[in-house]
């Protein structure tokens, strides 16, 4: 039963995160990318805060770790959110989701540069293969680009992945000292402190003009994708171990593509589909290799 619930948890998280790209692209028509990040994470902080109060989580940390928590919140939540949201105003949600699938590759490179963890020949091949997939996805979109800003959108998306990679490395440093709920709560609070000053520089949305779909998207992104999904992911890791949940995360772009095709009737270029398959397969194999390397140590 525990493993079954863990499997259901990660499947739900992947489905919700896959849909989140589409939901974000839709609501960005009525709200600024930076302000969306603020409202999305203030809802997440409220949700996590309730969990902290119910479980009576001790939020004390050492002074030495304070800067790490702040940088993690700034890079992994604030900057990542702003860059990704802005990119989604320029490039299709399916393309953005596909590009984020190279995150495992960036983490491997980050571990190599930061912790001097070795990269095997197979991993180098998989990295090269995933780059081919990224090129196919970008080429398919840029070949029919009309605004001239699509390249900027992809650069923003790639930069957001770099930001998330640095966040992952920072979180790795403190992950052995604190539990997941404490880390999420403090990082989210730190990010919120960074978001608050942006309210003076970016226009607040006209909430009176929001239709039902806008409210649904905002609540879905804040409560479900930024709050609930984290706990679904943590529950799946506790029930199934690390490898299987991380394998499932590689299928997030597939969920985005299928949702666009089935629900919104948005066509996807065949080159993008090939690129998505290449990236997904190469990153799944890389996830397995990384897991084996860790268990062999």
Taking Cα atoms as reference points, which of 269, 225, 222, 289 lies closest to residue 98? 269
Q: Return the domain boundaries, the chain.
A: 2-200+208-296
- What does the alpha-carbon distance between residue 265 and residue 261 come to, in Å, rounded to a whole number? 5
pLDDT in tens, 286-296: 888 877 766 65
Percent share of the chain, pLDDT over 90:
35
Q: What per-residue confidence (pLDDT) applies to 168?
A: 79
Mean pLDDT value across the chain: 86
Of residues 285 and 144, more confidently modeled:
285
The predicted model gives 145-172 an average pLDDT of 86
Return the minimum-mean-pLDDT range out of 20-24, 92-96, 106-110, 162-166: 106-110
The predicted model gives 130-137 an average pLDDT of 91
pLDDT in tens, 230-257: 778 767 876 776 667 777 888 889 899 8
Buried b (16+ CB within 10 A) or exposed e, 10-20: bbbbbbbbbbb
Q: What per-residue confidence (pLDDT) applies to 296?
A: 59
The predicted model gives 152-158 an average pLDDT of 94
The predicted model gives 148-174 an average pLDDT of 87
pLDDT in tens, 25-62: 999 999 999 999 999 888 888 888 888 899 898 998 99
Q: What DSSP line would sit under the chain, residue for residue?
A: -HHHHHHHHHHHHHHHHHHHHHHHHHHTTTS-HHHHHHHHHHHHHHHHHHHHHHHT------HHHHHHHHHHHIIIIIIHHHHHHHHTTTS-HHHHHHHHTTHHHHHHHHHHHHH-----HHHHHHHHHHHHHHHHHHHHHHTT-SSS-HHHHHHHHHHHHHHHHHHHHHHHHHTTTS-HHHHHHHHHHHHHHHHHHHTTTSPPP-GGG--HHHHHHHHIIIIIIIIIHHHHHHHHHHHH-SHHHHHHHTTHHHHHHHHHHHTS-----HHHHHHHHHHHHHHHHHHHHHHHHHHH-
pLDDT bracket for residue 148 (50, 70, 90)? confident
- pLDDT reading at 115 higher than 80: no
């Amino acid at each position: 039963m525990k493993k079954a619930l863990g499997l259901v948890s990660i499947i739900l998280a992947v489905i919700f995160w896959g849909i989140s790209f589409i939901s974000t692209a839709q609501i960005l028509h009525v709200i600024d990318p930076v302000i969306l990040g603020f409202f999305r994470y203030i809802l997440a902080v409220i949700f996590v805060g309730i969990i902290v109060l119910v479980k009576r989580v001790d939020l004390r940390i050492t002074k030495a770790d304070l800067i790490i928590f702040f940088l993690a919140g700034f890079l992994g939540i604030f900057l990542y959110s702003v860059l990704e949201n802005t990119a989604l105003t320029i490039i299709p949600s399916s393309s953005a989701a596909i590009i984020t699938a190279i995150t495992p590759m960036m983490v491997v490179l980050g571990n190599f540069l930061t912790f001097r963890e070795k990269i095997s020949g197979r991993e180098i091949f998989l990295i090269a293969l995933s780059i081919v997939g990224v090129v196919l996805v970008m080429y398919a979109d840029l070949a029919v680009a009309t605004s001239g800003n699509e390249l900027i959108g992809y650069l923003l998306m790639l930069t957001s992945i770099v930001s998330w990679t640095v966040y992952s490395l920072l979180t790795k440093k403190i992950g052995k000292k604190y539990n997941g709920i404490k880390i999420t709560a403090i990082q989210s609070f730190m990010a919120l402190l960074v978001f608050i000053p942006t309210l003076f520089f970016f226009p607040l949305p006209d909430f009176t003009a929001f239709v039902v779909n806008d409210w649904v998207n905002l609540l879905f992104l804040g409560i479900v994708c930024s709050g609930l999904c984290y706990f679904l992911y943590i529950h799946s890791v506790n029930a199934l171990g690390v490898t299987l949940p991380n394998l499932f995360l590689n299928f997030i772009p597939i969920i985005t593509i299928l949702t666009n095709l089935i629900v919104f009737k948005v066509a996807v270029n065949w080159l993008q589909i090939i690129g998505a398959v290449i990236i997904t397969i190469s990153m799944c194999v890389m996830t397995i290799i990384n897991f084996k390397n860790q268990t062999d140590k």
